[in-house]
Copies of this chain bind each other. A is one copy, B any other.
């Protein structure tokens, strides 16, 4: 199989997300990183490309230089897709330009910093024939796909409640003026957008709840706070959701919970059974039902209880743990399948897709927007 050619925009700084994109996209040897514009600083953009193995002539000084230059290359050589790993406020502009230039797009979340931009991007993506994938990577874990399929098949009955929480603690230690690395732009409303931890981790949590439950909010309310000394953006909050089927949702986000590293967890209560899962122990899914032993489903492609999408998302037998990179790679792998179809002039399957799309991106921005509105209105319920 010919490898797809990847261009990486952003990701050359102190953070780790650029390397995650490069590793995840190439994990299955289905893609190759051929070009990059890894920083908004032209010099850094070029120097940062070296450890990524990008040829100097395709290490661009800016994203528009990249888009322009790559567009001009021969079709069998030019980048097939761009991955956008830049600060939030630039996603809209870069993604729009990339789509217009005819590239498939894989974009970090939150997709945009305003709902208006998100809606524009939906229209643009829909009117183009390009693939647009959003890296809500936690939905790439095999057992989250298992959970989604179990819910969709009615195995837990009707969903009555979802609780999802995403807790980190690093903000207690970050002083963005002292260490201009991770966290710097995340504390700057101009670059980060108006939602702080809400955007950084809350939107991941919300997406996972939607992905697994298949539910859409009808109304929500939110209360948030800022407890660390480093910025004015929220770093802790709750949203209570009334879903369209009358289920109750709860989203909790925090980047000020001491000692928590990347503690994303989800619980889904149904009328017949309940599910729970934790990102830091991603190879186990707990299934509970009144009066029965708690069951631990392993990520295990050879187990009879594993669902088709879970099996398809595995690379290793049970007990040989898979983790973050593989989940991230699953978003890429699914998007690649659509890119190959488009490149071959074939139709792509209709939504819902296993990989997060521009619509999921808009829902995330809507969640962020509604939470901020509710918070500013004394936690009043907001129509979705």
A contact set with B: CB distance below 8 Å? 1, 3, 16, 19-20, 22-23, 26-29, 33, 51-53, 156, 160-161, 163, 168-170, 172-173, 221, 223, 225, 227, 236-238, 240, 242, 246, 248, 250, 252, 254, 256-263, 267, 269-274, 279-283, 287-298, 300, 302-305, 315-326, 378-379, 381
User: Which of B26, B292, B295, B324 meets A29, CB within 8 Å?
Assistant: B26
User: Which of B261, B263, B295, B379 meets A300, CB within 8 Å?
Assistant: B261
Interface pair B274/A319, CB less than 8 Å apart: no
List the B residue with the shortest CB-CB distance to A285.
B293
Interface pair B298/A293, CB less than 8 Å apart: yes
Contacts of A170 in B (CB 8 A): 290
Q: List 30 A-B contacts (CB under 8 A).
A: A19-B315, A23-B28, A23-B315, A26-B26, A29-B33, A156-B258, A161-B254, A161-B256, A169-B288, A170-B290, A172-B271, A172-B290, A221-B221, A221-B379, A223-B248, A227-B271, A236-B269, A238-B250, A256-B269, A258-B290, A259-B273, A259-B289, A259-B290, A259-B294, A260-B274, A292-B303, A293-B305, A294-B296, A294-B298, A379-B379
Contacts of A272 in B (CB 8 A): 258
List the B residue with the shortest CB-CB distance to A29.
B53
Given the known interface contacts A258-B269, A298-B261, the answer about A325 and B322 at a Cβ–Cβ threshold of 8 Å is yes
Contacts of A281 in B (CB 8 A): 281, 321
**In whole angstroms, how far apart are the Cα atoms of A378 and B3 in the complex?**
55
Min CB distance A340 to B, Å, is 14
Min CB distance A144 to B, Å, is 14
Min CB distance A188 to B, Å, is 21
**In whole angstroms, how far apart are the Cα atoms of A297 and B261 in the complex?**
12
Given the known interface contacts A305-B293, A320-B262, the answer about A240 and B225 at a Cβ–Cβ threshold of 8 Å is no
Interface pair A325/B316, CB less than 8 Å apart: yes
